[in-house]
């Protein structure tokens, strides 16, 4: 069967294939262009299939698509999938909830985590996304997790802080009257 099909490429097609092998940003195009190059070099579709680790029918499909569409035919076609559960209303609700302090919503915490947010939205919208889908949605919408910073400034005495700041400034400005000892970078010392 493979003897009846002409796998020979013109100089222009060969240059196009070589360029796809060396410069395509899509790995599937590079793999399929290599297969076309091997077919051009005289390998049978069965041999090429073994080299690129696919079935012979796949090599035939790639060849047929290349003959019909050129290098563009070697790219994966877009695949339709199940529509996302997170519709526009869900995303609008997500934005609104992200801008709200959880305590204002009557929740016993003050920081949203992915799981808390996901479960709260499931209660509100009756749409429960898996953890990984929800994380991917947040990433696609441009939300990034950052570590919360815990500050205790509100618990500190402001006048005492000001006094300590003044003392530290004074200490920085005054130079010690005795030279400081040579710094030691080890707890080990040598006996004299």
pLDDT tens digits, one per residue of 46-63: 999 999 999 999 999 999
Question: What value does the CA radius of gyration of the chain take, rounded to a whole number of Å?
Answer: 33
pLDDT, residue 111, reads: 84
Residue 151, both tokens = 């500050």
Do 70 and 93 belong to one domain? no
Residue of 187 and 105 predicted with greater confidence: 105
Residue range 37-45: mean pLDDT, rounded: 94
- Residue 50 belongs to domain with CATH number: 1.10.10
Q: Which range marks the domain in which residue 104 is found?
A: 88-140
Share of the chain above pLDDT 70, in %: 89
Distance CA 35, CA 50 (A): 10
Q: Please, what sign has the CA dihedral across residues 128, 148, 156, 158?
A: negative
Distance CA 3, CA 5 (A): 6
Do 27 and 52 belong to one domain? yes
pLDDT, residue 180, reads: 59
- The answer to whether position 191 is within a domain reads no
Per-residue confidence band for 81, with pLDDT thresholds at 50, 70 and 90 = confident
Least confident of 29-33, 39-43, 160-164: 160-164
Do 24 and 66 belong to one domain? yes
Q: What is the model's pTM?
A: 0.47
| Domain count along the chain | 2
Mean pLDDT of the chain: 86
| H runs (alpha helix) in 70-157 | 88-98, 114-125, 131-140
Of 19, 49, 74, the position where a domain reaches its end is 74
- The answer to whether position 185 is within a domain reads no
pLDDT, residue 1, reads: 46
- The answer to whether position 150 is within a domain reads no
Distance CA 189, CA 186 (A): 7
Residue of 116 and 2 predicted with greater confidence: 116
- The answer to whether position 98 is within a domain reads yes
């Amino acid at each position: 069967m493979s003897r009846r099909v002409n796998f020979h490429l013109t100089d222009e097609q060969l240059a196009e294939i070589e360029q796809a092998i060396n410069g395509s940003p899509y790995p599937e195009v590079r793999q399929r262009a290599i297969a076309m190059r091997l077919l051009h070099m005289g390998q049978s579709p069965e041999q090429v299939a073994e080299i690129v680790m696919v079935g012979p029918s796949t090599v035939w499909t790639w060849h047929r698509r290349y003959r019909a569409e050129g290098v563009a035919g070697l790219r994966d076609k877009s695949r339709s999938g199940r529509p996302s559960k997170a519709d526009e209303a869900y995303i609008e609700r997500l934005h609104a909830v992200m801008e709200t302090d959880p305590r204002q919503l009557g929740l016993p915490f003050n920081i949203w985590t992915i799981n808390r947010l996901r479960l709260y939205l499931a209660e509100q919208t009756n749409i429960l996304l898996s953890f990984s889908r929800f994380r991917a949605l947040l990433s696609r919408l441009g939300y990034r997790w950052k570590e919360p910073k815990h500050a205790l400034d509100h618990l500190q005495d402001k006048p005492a802080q000001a006094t300590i700041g003044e003392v530290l400034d004074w200490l920085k400005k005054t130079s010690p009257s005795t030279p400081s000892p040579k710094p030691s970078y080890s707890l080990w010392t040598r006996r004299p």
